[in-house]
Structure 1
Amino acid sequence: MNAIPEHEAKAWIGGFGVAVPRGATARTPAELEAAAGGLTPPLVVKAYGPGLVHKSDAGAVRLNVGSPGAAAAEMLGALAAQGIEPAGFLVEEQAEPGVEMIVGAVRDPVFGPVLLAGLGGVWTEALHDTALRLLPVTEADARAMLDELRGKALLDGLRGRPPVDKDALVKLLLAVGSAVESLGEGFGEFELNPVICGPSGVIAVDARRIDADAPAAVSAAPPATDFGPLFAPRGVAVVGASAKKPNFGNMFLGFYKAAGFAGRLVAVHPTAAEIDGVPCVPSLAEAGVDYALVAVPAAQCPDVVRQARGVPFVQVMSGGFREMGNPDLEEELLAAAAEAGVRLLGPNCMGVYSPAGGQTFIGGAPGRPGRISVVSQSGGLAGEVIKVGERRGLAFAKVATVGNSADVTPAELLRYLAGDPGTSAIGLYLEDPRDGRGLFEALRETAKPVVALVGGRSGQGRKAAASHTGGMVGDARIWPALAAQTGVALVRGQDDLIGVLDLFDLHGARPAPGTPEVLVIGPSGGASVLAADVFDGAGLALAPLPDAARDALRGLGLGAGSSLANPLEIPVGPRGNPDLVRHAVTAILAERPFPDVIAHVNVQSFFTFGDSAEPLLAYARSVGALQAELPGTRITLVVRNAECAPPGVEDAVRAVAREAGVPVYRGMEAAAVAVAAGKRHASHISGSVDGTA
């Protein structure tokens, strides 16, 4: 890395409109005294040169200086005692005190240039109060960064202090972003710390720029690939099935047979004529298929892939590559795919699932075709999402597992699915996306709702250069920044991934806005109080009911013994009117619109005080009718304590609700995550249309 002297870094960033102190440089203390003649005290003196990246730690900064030459001479002796010989000295006018900020950027190895803003000076290390955004940034991004800071009250004025000039700070953020982008692939790190902010402007009093030793190599983007044959192949070949002892290859042959694959199905075996009733060919060169699944030991995979010329897609299920400390073997595999002219999925993954296209990597008959698609770096987790999702009524269009993503990346598949007319909602499970910048750009460009579950966020840090800025960029920080800029919903578990996909599938196209208001309605005051806590924690607003709405509710016989508030407590049970919630919601929305309505019910009460599922099903049908009457409102149903229902009842309720376009959740927490994700998507799309995102 190549450190640029501070005065040169300031001259460079000053060219982008960033204010810096007036100053001068000199090689010796005597020359510095003369150079400072035109500057107004008090002054600051700094030494610069090799070994002085962190000047304060080396004692290479003096404040409130009267004689720059004397200060430099004293500093020279102190540095000599440390074995440091400065290349020169910088003298500057000392800035007025104010709120100190840090503004910087670093090149993340996966996502590229990342902008950071936070409290500066010593607070940078003490509080770690920072916000990130991937470059490029908009003015809206810059303002959102400042709003995310825990210490933002300092910018607004605290204890009688005047507010700082936020507009000037926003302009500085945008200027730093533009400056960093101008460096292209040669950029390494850049930091302004501190930036002193006051009511009449901001000034960067320290600057540090480190360029890459050599511009990073830019890998050529792969040509646009038609992934249609991957999800609907005319033929499938399985490599690795045994004629003697059943193994993974045999298992996959069984999966395709059980799924009723209608195309050409072959096994690749050097001597056998058939395996498990499936005809064999001696190598992939004779397979004549669109897709090959390779399940042989890792060391044999490159040779197998070299035989795949003419096969558009090869999926290597085998593990034992980069994820097991064998990057050279993975590079050999990648080279073999390039030599054969095939696109490689994996290694270390399971396969592809598409009920409409005949693709499968799980046992049993495929589910009904749907419009939900998933890209997963874990084959096992993808299988769980499919099975659990289908159990809850979800239907999938295309699911691809990509493992190590040596060739085909999640970003590439995301771009394809974003333009796929058969996909309406997209789920991602990611660990190392490989092409983080491509993923960011693909997410920014898609208008479809996307939910992402990211593994390993808490245990990994990015290997950035040792700096204040670089040390604050890591997995756990990048993903929320990416979500803020792209509208993707981040979730923390598989259940929420499935739950958000369910809401996106049913509500993603509804015209309801992304504003935070929700109406919660159902039985039990305690449950309503807990619901208020949950939805408030998810950033959603339980707006009060207007007087006219409360009057209308009293006309329905409500309000005796309970307050008419939001959440609204309303009797729902085996002996109640199943249409009461529908009437109440209709009355409220006639006076005040709510983009989201969460109707909850205590399933246990229906079978403690009743002995039939029909009242509960009647309630579900009424909620479905409400959704039909309010196509511009997102209705969500929460079936609390569903495990108290007899077997099959919960499934029946889900089926009734889903047929009406209403997603169903077992708890308020899951519903809150999904509703918040739906609002985020609606808000992001609205902002993109309005030009504000």
Structure 2
Amino acid sequence: MSAQDHGSRDLPRDPHEHDTQDAPRDRDAQDIPRDPREHDTRDIPREHEVKELVAAAGVPVPRGVVVRDLDFAAAGELAEPLVLKAFGPGLVHKSEAGAVRLGLRADGLAAAAAEMRSRLDVEGFLVEEQAPAGVELIVGLVGDPGFGPVLLAGLGGVWTEAMRDTALRLCPISEPDARLMLDELRGAALLHGHRGHPPVDVDAVVKLLMTVGGPGGLWERLELGEFELNPVIATPSGVTAVDARHLPGRPPRPSATREPADFLPLFEPRAVAVVGASASRPNFGNMFLDFYRAAGVPLVAVHPSAAEVAGVPAVPSLAAADVDYALVAVPAERCAEVVRQASGIPYVQVMSGGFGEAGRADLERDLAAAARAAGTRLLGPNCMGVYCPRGRQTFVGGGVGPAGTVALISQSGGLAGEVIKVGERRGLAFSRVVTVGNAADVTPAELLSWLARDPETRAVGLYLEDPRGGRELHEALRAAGLPVALLVGGRSSQGQRAALSHTGGMVSDLRVWAAVAAQTGTALVSSQDDLIGVLAFFQAHGSRVTDGDRVLVIGPSGGAGVLAADAFDRAGVRLAPLPDGVLHGLGLAAAGNPLEVPVGPRGRPGLVPEVIGAIVRREPYADVVAHVNVQSFFTYGDAAEPLYAYARALAAAQEALPRVRITLVTRNGECAPAGVEDEVRRIAAAAGVPVYRSMEAAAAAVAAGGSRGTA
């Protein structure tokens, strides 16, 4: 890979957050510090040195000898055919450089070596017994700047970059992780025998993955920049690593450890101070004074001379403010000075932008140091703050919504505001929402660990743009014990860098985040709408104990059913066939899944619940997705009542079937008069039935519900 193949890109800025210099802005992707050895191959261990290391760890490698000149007598004891490899300071990708010859006899080694030496800068040669043919794999490690050591496995050799068929996990992996990695490969069939070829020794491949990435594996003993075994030849009798490469990196810096924080004053402060509101010219600080007054939280303004600001009592500095939470909205250059006065205040939020995200890392370091000196915890900078109906905390207008059980941690304040307002419109009720911006002090991992123990929170959503503290976040996700949905922004190119191995080139943010989700049971979603939809599913069904993992889709119109099957297939959800004879006596012509059942303005509202009951009495189903064409109720009918009756019948079915998760899809809901969809959602929500407008949204939610299971 060349340096041009990689690089950071700017993350999209939130349009709601840049109409003033002091308003917070979403984080831009930051340059990853480069290891100075990334472009200097002189210090890279040679292949035979790396193979000595891996052989000592128990990885099978070919028998071989090292020759520094053209005397190949020592190779006479090796079994032919032989492989000749040149090594030297510039020979990292040997095949591309013409530094490898296969199928040689011992008497042809000297001539082949002389030819290589005539065109390459060669230190010496490695001669090895040629491994038998088999399935070529790649096994690699990368020291990811956010998440630490990451293991990669996939199709190797000439297929590595052509197919890019790989799976990733964070180290250390477990044996189930290793087997799932192999199962995820598009070429997995090659391992189990394909078109007359015998299956390889999969247990030997799993053992190799554990040797490299498992507890006590090579990843713990390497100064890890990049490490790669490619190809590894897998055969029915075992595995052989025929090439090995190691690019050392910097030793990881130990993570700072803190005592677990009590974030309750962050979400439910006794009183709040606002720094930066103007006595003469309304600004962001004044807007927050208005928000807080509307919420009814005890409030004080901080102003150097005014006795009050916009009717709010004022004190000259934070040192005189008896509060649990302070919001700072002053120019970035003044923030550290203000925060130094916050002694005795548990939490200070810096709303202002203009720090690391704007290339001013020095200001961000000074700000964090000021918070440490004052003994306060810093939220932000470059963030909008906290929303908590129970604590009357808010950063959005229009008052606070109902208190609920869903929490959200977001790096973007604008996106968090949208999730709050749209989510509440769709029936979400939040326990805690916190925006972290640049996360210079308080991190998403800390907050997630606390929320996992919070009695008011039963599900968590995350929106993140970089893996700062990624290893701690991974551990927090593994230990969470409650449903978590994760949306990641800017994940296609951020964090990539120039790579001297194939492994380094193929570890991108998207793939690492997917590995984190797979290892921790986190639901990884791809859009804001899906984040809201999955959280609605968790809110409705998160504590429901279910039987099995089968999914049934039921509703009108064969065409809609076919499209529903496609949507669930894309979401990775299998629709199991119906049991034989289960519909006997119900008068239905079709018996597939999706199941076509007449639902409309002249249909019997209770038919679908009867069919659901008949099916689940015969065979357990975890999820039933009932869909309805709302348009038909107003094209072939003239009132909303039949639609309401159907919603009430589904709600009753949910109450009668506590071990089944029922979900309702109101297709073409925009065809209903104003207020009809809201009433359908209200009827369904009272029984714990989430409502979606599209089959795709419901499929994403049901798939996420199966990521962790029930809480």
1:13 to 54, 59, 73: 54
How far is the alpha carbon of 1:190 from its aligned partner?
1.0
For residues 600-639 of structure 1, the aligned pairs below 5 Å read 600-639=627-666
Amino acid at match of 2:284: F
Match for residue 58 of structure 1? 97
Q: Deviations over 1:508-530 (max 9, x none)?
A: 11111562x21111122221221
- The question of whether the paired residues in 2 share the 8 Å contact of 1:60 and 1:75 is answered with no
For residues 405-424 of structure 1, the aligned pairs below 5 Å read 405-424=439-458
Label 1:305 to 1:79 Cα distance change in 2 as closer, same or farther (>3 A).
farther
User: How much identity, in percent, do the aligned residues show?
Assistant: 65
Match for residue 393 of structure 1? 427
Label 1:239 to 1:260 Cα distance change in 2 as closer, same or farther (>3 A).
same
How far is the alpha carbon of 1:438 from its aligned partner?
0.9
- The question of whether the paired residues in 2 share the 8 Å contact of 1:45 and 1:63 is answered with yes
How far is the alpha carbon of 1:77 from its aligned partner?
5.6
Please tell me whether residue 238 in structure 1 is matched to residue 271 in structure 2: no
Match for residue 188 of structure 1? 225
State the SS of the aligned residue for 2:707.
Answer: helix
2:555 to 504, 507, 522: 522
Match for residue 690 of structure 1? none
Amino acid at match of 1:526: G
Match for residue 596 of structure 1? 623
Between stretches 578-587 and 608-617, larger displacement belongs to 608-617
How far is the alpha carbon of 1:80 from its aligned partner?
5.4
1:175 to 207, 211, 217: 211
Determine the C-alpha separation between the residues in 2 that align with 1:441 and 1:464: 28
- The question of whether the paired residues in 1 share the 8 Å contact of 2:291 and 2:396 is answered with yes
Amino acid at match of 1:520: V
Match for residue 691 of structure 1? none
Determine the C-alpha separation between the residues in 2 that align with 1:207 and 1:314: 50
How far is the alpha carbon of 1:76 from its aligned partner?
5.1
Determine the C-alpha separation between the residues in 2 that align with 1:513 and 1:250: 53
Determine the C-alpha separation between the residues in 1 that align with 2:322 and 2:178: 54
Match for residue 548 of structure 1? 581
How far is the alpha carbon of 1:594 from its aligned partner?
1.2
Determine the C-alpha separation between the residues in 1 that align with 2:67 and 2:384: 64
For residues 159-238 of structure 1, the aligned pairs below 5 Å read 159-178=195-214, 179-183=217-221, 186-212=223-249, 214-238=250-274
Label 1:192 to 1:124 Cα distance change in 2 as closer, same or farther (>3 A).
same
Determine the C-alpha separation between the residues in 1 that align with 2:83 and 2:132: 12
Q: Deviations over 1:293-320 (max 9, x none)?
A: 1111111111111111211111111111
Label 1:75 to 1:336 Cα distance change in 2 as closer, same or farther (>3 A).
farther
State the SS of the aligned residue for 1:323.
Answer: helix
Match for residue 342 of structure 2? 308
Please tell me whether residue 319 in structure 1 is matched to residue 387 in structure 2: no
Match for residue 141 of structure 2? 105
For residues 63-212 of structure 1, the aligned pairs below 5 Å read 63-67=102-106, 71-72=109-110, 74-75=112-113, 78-79=116-117, 81-82=119-120, 84-86=121-123, 88-178=124-214, 179-183=217-221, 186-212=223-249
Q: Deviations over 1:175-197 (max 9, x none)?
A: 1114333226x222211011011
State the SS of the aligned residue for 1:676.
Answer: helix
State the SS of the aligned residue for 2:381.
Answer: coil
State the SS of the aligned residue for 2:254.
Answer: coil
Figure out how many residues of one structure are paired with residues of the other and give that number: 668
Match for residue 283 of structure 2? 247
Amino acid at match of 2:47: E
Between stretches 519-528 and 199-208, larger displacement belongs to 519-528
Q: Deviations over 1:460-499 (max 9, x none)?
A: 3522633111000011211111111111111111111111
Between stretches 654-663 and 45-54, larger displacement belongs to 45-54
State the SS of the aligned residue for 2:519.
Answer: helix
Match for residue 585 of structure 1? 612
Determine the C-alpha separation between the residues in 1 that align with 2:499 and 2:322: 50
- The question of whether the paired residues in 2 share the 8 Å contact of 1:607 and 1:645 is answered with yes
Q: Deviations over 1:125-171 (max 9, x none)?
A: 21111111111111111111111112222222222111111111111
Determine the C-alpha separation between the residues in 1 that align with 2:547 and 2:499: 42
Q: Deviations over 1:100-143 (max 9, x none)?
A: 11111111111111111111111112111111111111111111
Match for residue 566 of structure 2? 533
Amino acid at match of 1:29: L
State the SS of the aligned residue for 2:66.
Answer: strand
State the SS of the aligned residue for 1:334.
Answer: helix
Determine the C-alpha separation between the residues in 1 that align with 2:59 and 2:544: 44
Determine the C-alpha separation between the residues in 1 that align with 2:356 and 2:398: 32
- The question of whether the paired residues in 1 share the 8 Å contact of 2:247 and 2:500 is answered with no
Determine the C-alpha separation between the residues in 2 that align with 1:655 and 1:177: 49
Amino acid at match of 2:79: T
Between stretches 371-380 and 641-650, larger displacement belongs to 641-650
How far is the alpha carbon of 1:571 from its aligned partner?
1.8
State the SS of the aligned residue for 2:54.
Answer: helix
Between stretches 383-392 and 38-47, larger displacement belongs to 38-47
Determine the C-alpha separation between the residues in 2 that align with 1:325 and 1:187: 28
State the SS of the aligned residue for 1:13.
Answer: helix
1:662 to 689, 692, 696: 689
Determine the C-alpha separation between the residues in 1 that align with 2:94 and 2:376: 53
TM-score (norm 1): 0.93
For residues 671-682 of structure 1, the aligned pairs below 5 Å read 671-682=698-709
Determine the C-alpha separation between the residues in 2 that align with 1:345 and 1:408: 6
TM-score (norm 2): 0.91
Between stretches 351-360 and 536-545, larger displacement belongs to 536-545
Amino acid at match of 1:158: H
Label 1:268 to 1:80 Cα distance change in 2 as closer, same or farther (>3 A).
farther
- The question of whether the paired residues in 1 share the 8 Å contact of 2:356 and 2:438 is answered with yes
Amino acid at match of 1:518: V
Q: Deviations over 1:642-671 (max 9, x none)?
A: 112221111111111111010000111110
Between stretches 413-422 and 533-542, larger displacement belongs to 533-542
Determine the C-alpha separation between the residues in 2 that align with 1:217 and 1:565: 57
Label 1:332 to 1:76 Cα distance change in 2 as closer, same or farther (>3 A).
farther
- The question of whether the paired residues in 2 share the 8 Å contact of 1:44 and 1:63 is answered with yes
How far is the alpha carbon of 1:98 from its aligned partner?
1.2
Amino acid at match of 2:162: A
How far is the alpha carbon of 1:72 from its aligned partner?
4.9
How far is the alpha carbon of 1:419 from its aligned partner?
1.2
Determine the C-alpha separation between the residues in 2 that align with 1:79 and 1:301: 62
- The question of whether the paired residues in 2 share the 8 Å contact of 1:410 and 1:433 is answered with no
Please tell me whether residue 455 in structure 1 is matched to residue 489 in structure 2: yes
Match for residue 365 of structure 1? 399
How far is the alpha carbon of 1:222 from its aligned partner?
2.8
Determine the C-alpha separation between the residues in 2 that align with 1:646 and 1:174: 59
Determine the C-alpha separation between the residues in 2 that align with 1:593 and 1:476: 35
Gaps of at least 5 residues in structure 2 are 1-36, 38-42
How far is the alpha carbon of 1:543 from its aligned partner?
1.9
Determine the C-alpha separation between the residues in 2 that align with 1:387 and 1:242: 28
How far is the alpha carbon of 1:676 from its aligned partner?
0.7
Determine the C-alpha separation between the residues in 2 that align with 1:65 and 1:521: 65
Please tell me whether residue 492 in structure 1 is matched to residue 530 in structure 2: no
State the SS of the aligned residue for 2:466.
Answer: coil
How far is the alpha carbon of 1:47 from its aligned partner?
2.6
Between stretches 35-44 and 581-590, larger displacement belongs to 35-44
- The question of whether the paired residues in 1 share the 8 Å contact of 2:328 and 2:352 is answered with yes
Match for residue 649 of structure 1? 676
2:418 to 374, 384, 390: 384
How far is the alpha carbon of 1:395 from its aligned partner?
0.4
Please tell me whether residue 272 in structure 1 is matched to residue 272 in structure 2: no
